[in-house]
Amino acid sequence: MAANGSGLDVEQIRRDFPVLDQQVRGRRLAYLDNAATTQKPLAVLEAVDHYYRHDNANVHRGLHTLAERATERYESARDRLARFVNARDRREVVWTRGTTEAINLVAQCFAQTELGPGDAVLISELEHHSNIVPWQLACQRSGATLRWIPLAEDGTLDLSDLDALLEGVKLMSVAACSNALGTIHPVRQLVDAAHAAGAAVLIDAAQATVHQRMDVQAWNADFVALSGHKAYGPTGIGALIGTTEWLDRLAPWHGGGEMIETVTLEASTWNELPYKFEAGTPNIAGAIGLAAAIEWFDALDHAALLTHEQVLLHAATEGLQQIQGLRLIGTAADKAPIVSFVIDGVHPQDLATLIDQSGVAVRTGHHCAMPTMAKFGVPGTVRASMACYNSLEDIQQLIAATEIAAEILR
Ligand SMILES: Cc1ncc(COP(=O)(O)O)c(C=O)c1O
C-alpha cells in the first residue's frame, strides 16, 4: 500500500530497518539525521553477517576455497558499484574508507605531481571540511593557491564570476549536494565550465548518492567521491571513481601490499588499476555490505522516492516556517530533503537537546561546514535530513518537538 501519497510504500520500507522500531525517551523514534549517516536495511546486516560466518578470508592472495569466495564477493561488489554509478569501466572504481579518504587521495596525488606555484585549486564556500582541508594541505605543500566560489544568500553558489575564477585552475572540487543546507548544484554546468578552462573536476557525491540518480558519465567529472554509510551501507567503505586516464597518470599515494607489481631492494613497480591505489588489506565486509545496500536501494521505485523526499521536504519547510522566530538557512529552489534552521535568541545546541526529548534525532552544530556558518553569521544550525524510510509522521513529530522546544527556550 502506498503511503504519504507519493507511491512509495514507506511502511514496507520501514520493516527492513529494525533500528527504527524503538522508543527514545519514551517516544516513537523519528530518525532525521540521515545526512550524517543512514540506517542499514536487513539485507546489509545479513550480507555482512553471512560473509563473516561463511566466507571470511583475505582477498586476492590465497588459492584456497574461502579466499576465492571472499575475492569473488569483494570484486563482485566493485562491479555492482560500477553499475550503480554508471562507471565506464570497473577499473575506475577505487575502494576507499569513504568520501574523505577519496578526496585526500586526489588532493595528495595532485600536490605531488600536478600542482605548483602559479596554479590554483577552486572549491566553494559551501563545502564540507572534507572538501576544504585536503585542498588547503595540498596548496600548502605545492605552493598552489586556493580559490573559492562565493555562496549566495539563498544557499546557492554564485556562479556569476565562474569563468574568471577558473583562470589558471588545475582542479575544481565541489559537492553535488550540500550537507549543511541541502542545495543541489548544477554539476554538469560546473564540469563543462571547468573543462572549458582546462581544469580537472572532482565531485563530492557524499550526499547526492541516494538523493539523485547517480550517473558519473552524465556528470562527466574526472573524479567522484562517495561514502557507503550515507547510502544505507556500512561505515568505513566508500569509493573514488576516477577516469582511467587520470588514474593512470597519477602516482600512487599509499604504499604497501596489493598496490605493487614487483618489489626489489632498489624500487617497486605498480599494480594495474584500480589496485595501484588500494594498499593493504581492504574492508572486504564493508564492500560486500555496500553492494547489498545498493542492491536493496536500486530495487526501490526511484521516481516515487524522489517525489516522496520532496513531499517530506515541503512539509517540513512549511511546518517549521510557522514557528515564531524560526529562520531557515538555505532556501534554494533545488534542494535535497534537508532543512537547516535557527531560532532567534535560542542556541541551536539547546534546541536540539530539547528536540531529542521528543524522540526526534536531528543534528546540531556547524555540520563540518564552518565557512558556510560564518557566511550566514550563525554558530550553527539545527538540521533535519530525511531518507526513504521517513514518513510524514516523522515530520509532524519534528515540527511539534521544535514548537515545544522553542516555547520553553524563548
Ligand atoms: C558533502 C559531504 N562531503 C564529505 C563528507 C565526508 O564523508 P565521510 O565522513 O563519510 O568521509 C560528508 C559527510 O557528512 C558530506 O556530507
Which ranges constitute the DSSP H helices of 86-236?
99-113, 133-142, 162-165, 187-196, 216-219
Q: Of 242, 272, 298, which residue sits at a domain end? A: 298
Q: Is the dihedral of CA 43, 48, 53, 58 positive or negative?
A: positive
> Cβ of 1: how many Cβ atoms within 10 Å?
6
Q: How far apart are CA 305 and CA 38, in angstroms?
A: 15
Residue 19 confidence (pLDDT) above 90: yes
> What rounded mean pLDDT belongs to the chain?
96
Q: Looking at the structure, tell me whether residues 286 and 166 fall in a common domain.
A: yes
Q: What is the total count of domains within the chain? A: 2
Q: Of 261, 280, 298, which residue sits at a domain end? A: 298
* pLDDT for position 5: 62
Q: What are phi and psi of 200, to 5 degrees?
A: -80, 160
CATH number of the domain at 370, please: 3.90.1150.10
Q: How far apart are CA 241 and CA 222, in angstroms?
A: 8
Which residues form the domain of 165?
46-298
Q: Looking at the structure, tell me whether residues 195 and 266 fall in a common domain.
A: yes
Which ranges constitute the DSSP H helices of 214-266?
216-219, 244-249
Q: Looking at the structure, tell me whether residues 23 and 86 fall in a common domain.
A: no
Mean pLDDT score, 312-324: 97
| Pocket test residue of 132, 207, 370 for ligand 1, highest count of atoms within 8 A of CB | 207
Residue located nearest, by CA, to atom 16 of ligand 1: 179
Q: Looking at the structure, tell me whether residues 372 and 255 fall in a common domain.
A: no
Q: Looking at the structure, tell me whether residues 89 and 132 fall in a common domain.
A: yes
> Among residues 93, 100, 190, 105, which one has the least CA distance to residue 149?
190
Between the CA atoms of 376, 382, 385 and 389, what dihedral angle is there, to the nearest 10 degrees?
-170
Pocket of ligand 1 (CB under 6 A): 35, 98-100, 128, 130-131, 175, 179, 204, 206-207, 227
* pLDDT for position 344: 87
Residue 2 confidence (pLDDT) above 60: no
Q: Looking at the structure, tell me whether residues 292 and 305 fall in a common domain.
A: no
Distance 62 CA to ligand 1 centre (A): 34
> Among residues 178, 188, 171, which one has the least CA distance to residue 105?
171
What is the full DSSP assignment across 5-37?
Answer: TSS--HHHHHTT-GGGS-EETTEE-EE-BTTT-
Phi/psi-derived region of residue 31, left when phi > 0, alpha when psi is between -120 and 50, beta in every other case: beta
Helix 133-142 to helix 99-113 angle (10° resolution) is 10
Q: Among 205-209, 246-250, 256-260, name the one with the lowest average pLDDT.
A: 256-260
Residue 196 confidence (pLDDT) above 80: yes
CATH number of the domain at 228, please: 3.40.640.10
What are the pLDDT digits (tens) for 346-399? 999 999 999 999 999 999 999 999 999 999 999 999 999 999 999 999 999 999
How large a percentage of the chain has pLDDT more than 70? 99
Planar angle of CA 215, 219, 225, nearest 5 degrees: 75
Structure-block grid coordinates of residue 220: 562527466
Which of the four pLDDT bands, split at 50, 70 and 90, describes residue 3?
A: very low
Cis-peptide, bond into residue 274, ω within 30° of zero: yes
Are the C-beta atoms of 240 and 225 separated by less than 8 Å?
A: yes
Buried b (16+ CB within 10 A) or exposed e, 226-254: bbbbbbbbbbbbbbbbbbeebbeebebbe
Distance 37 CA to ligand 1 centre (A): 9
Q: Looking at the structure, tell me whether residues 251 and 335 fall in a common domain.
A: no
Distance 261 CA to ligand 1 centre (A): 32
Q: Of 298, 332, 352, which residue sits at a domain end? A: 298
- Quickly tell me which residue has 511546518 as its cell: 319
Residue 3 within any structural domain of the chain: no
